[in-house]
Structure 1
Amino acid sequence: MGSIWELDFYSRPILDENQKKVWEVLVCESPLDTRTQTDSLFRYAQFCPSTQVNSTWLRMALQEAITKAGKAPRQFRFFRRQMNNMIAKACEELGIPAQPSRRTIALFHWLQQRTEEVYPNQPGYQPSTNPSVHYEPSISQRLPDAITGQQWAFVNLEAAAFEEMHEWDIGFGEAFPLQMIRGIVPETKVPGLVIFSPRAVPLAGWMSGLELAFLQFNNSSSGGARLCLESGINDNWILASLKNQQTLAEAKAFEEAKQKASGVHFLAVQSSPEAESFAGFWLLQEINLP
């Protein structure tokens, strides 16, 4: 099936001798299940002079990464919308699709580590706290009628339970090793939402093509209380409208548990509460991209 690589190409808080920002390309392999050993994931980093920031340089850097890895990914994921044209062109010339996505968890944690440990040690380092990524709120969309869930429930699992996730019967899904997340210990309660639907397989199959980002409880005066699914770069789907005090309390508890679990949570799809298999299961993390 091939691997998925996460990609970032942007300026860093480092100035060159001409007081221009140094750019950098980062490429890392996406972990796709909980058994992945993070130290075995492929990584590639290369600084780029500000005078050579273009799709040609990027394509050559990506080709070098592929050569070093000894294999090409089946897809690139990237989260910076402002770099869409340059990244898309470079990847197209390589014959590899590039997908805008906020599911760049491994890249996010690597960027955090480099921001704390690598960039401050570079000549010309200039501390910067201004985020470069801003997502405008999008209009919430309803799930297609044909695949809407009939029931749903909030649940919690201890982080230790995910060590056996590879043994679960799962149709569609994706996960990552919880060891890569700061603050997660085996006893951490990881909250989640399980959707039950007689059309569980079509629902899970449809969701698998969305580049799932995270679940979020929204309560606004205009839209009311809703549980939403964020996907892609800026898509927002209404999973459930919350109309009574019990479900509102459960949604608030879900958000609180998510924050305590460093943003980690999960989404599952089953045919019924009695089902022993999952049509879909995704481990998610809400992250603030830099």
Structure 2
Amino acid sequence: MQTIITKACKEIGIKPIPSKRCISLLLWLEERYETVYTRHPGFQKGAQPLLALDNPFPMELPDNLFGEKWAFVQLPFSAVREEIASLETRFVFGASLDLDLLGIEIDDKALIPGLAVASSRAEPLAAWMNGLEVCAIEADTSRACLILSVGIATRYVYATYMKTPVTTAEAEAWEAAKKACGGLHFLAIQDDLDSDDCVGFWLLLDLPPPPV
């Protein structure tokens, strides 16, 4: 469908960007599935979706996207909102989500899981990341790695760790926290993991693919 969409967008002067950050569209398809498709006389439960998104094997991360250190972190939602506000008030790379528009309500005290990445070249790293449509980060405990999803169907091995019972439990707890927040999480790029400031901040939402 990319050719059709590209042609239609160009005719009205819109630059098409392949991305899964179209959260409103994904939620609309899910709602339409529940309220329209399941009530259709020809509906067959368990049928294969018409528009299946690929979930390819993760590729090696390009050299320019490597960070030197990383850590699982959590921030209260009030602090996350402050970081989102900084995207407009100071020169910070990143992207937000309109949670009000999406109908997502989060308590200010709720802890939002995230990934903090530190690099001595944090600003160039954040600039490179800003050129991607960053969609989600997933902790893959079977491969002992973190997977970065960008665009429509591009996946990178973002980081790896030594697989032990402790690291596996930490990764599972991070994924559980993400699920408890409805898939909401964030990526922060910093000069140092102990720094209070970010040079890049992305609010992310890990949603299952639409069922249609």
The TM-score range, normalised by the shorter chain, is: 0.7 to 0.9
Structure richer in strand, relative to its length: 1
Corresponding residue SS for 1:278: coil
Report deviation, 1:277: 2.5
Q: Which amino acid aligns with 1:176?
A: L
Corresponding residue SS for 1:110: helix
Matches within 5 A, 1:27-176: 83-116=1-34, 119=36, 127=43, 130=47, 131-164=49-82, 165-167=84-86, 169=90, 171-176=92-97
Q: Which shows bigger deviation, 260-269 or 98-107?
A: 98-107
Indicate how the Cα distance of structure 1 residues 176 and 128 shifts in structure 2: closer, same or farther if over 3 A, else same: farther
Q: d(CA) in 1 for partners of 2:41 and 2:121?
A: 54
Structure 2 counterpart of 1:282: 202
Matches within 5 A, 1:171-250: 171-179=92-100, 180-182=102-104, 184-220=106-142, 224-245=143-164, 246-250=166-170
TM-score by length of 2: 0.82
Counterpart of 1:258 (choices 174, 178, 183) is 178
Indicate how the Cα distance of structure 1 residues 149 and 127 shifts in structure 2: closer, same or farther if over 3 A, else same: same
Structure 2 counterpart of 1:67: none
Q: d(CA) in 2 for partners of 1:159 and 1:229?
A: 22
Indicate how the Cα distance of structure 1 residues 170 and 141 shifts in structure 2: closer, same or farther if over 3 A, else same: farther
Q: d(CA) in 2 for partners of 1:247 and 1:274?
A: 21
> What are structure 1's unaligned runs of at least 5 residues?
1-82
Moved over 4 A (4+): 114-117, 124-130
Q: How many residues align?
A: 202
Deviations 1:58-112 (A, max 9, x none): xxxxxxxxxxxxxxxxxxxxxxxxx111111111223322111111112222333
Deviations 1:99-136 (A, max 9, x none): 1111111222233344445x47x9x7755654333233
Q: d(CA) in 2 for partners of 1:126 and 1:187?
A: 45
Q: Which amino acid aligns with 1:208?
A: N
Indicate how the Cα distance of structure 1 residues 152 and 214 shifts in structure 2: closer, same or farther if over 3 A, else same: same
Q: State whether structure 2 residue 187 is matched by structure 1 residue 267.
A: yes
Q: Relative contact order, CA 8 A, sep 6+: which one is greater?
A: 2
Report deviation, 1:176: 1.5
Q: Which amino acid aligns with 1:175?
A: S
Q: d(CA) in 2 for partners of 1:153 and 1:92?
A: 41
Corresponding residue SS for 1:98: coil
Q: Which shows bigger deviation, 139-148 or 206-215?
A: 139-148
Corresponding residue SS for 2:148: strand
Corresponding residue SS for 1:100: coil
Q: Which amino acid aligns with 2:23?
A: I
Q: Which shows bigger deviation, 211-220 or 191-200?
A: 211-220
Corresponding residue SS for 1:99: coil
Does the aligned pair in 2 maintain the 1:184–1:262 contact within 8 Å? no
> What are structure 2's unaligned runs of at least 5 residues?
none
Indicate how the Cα distance of structure 1 residues 88 and 252 shifts in structure 2: closer, same or farther if over 3 A, else same: same
Does the aligned pair in 1 maintain the 2:77–2:110 contact within 8 Å? yes
TM-score by length of 1: 0.62
Indicate how the Cα distance of structure 1 residues 109 and 146 shifts in structure 2: closer, same or farther if over 3 A, else same: closer
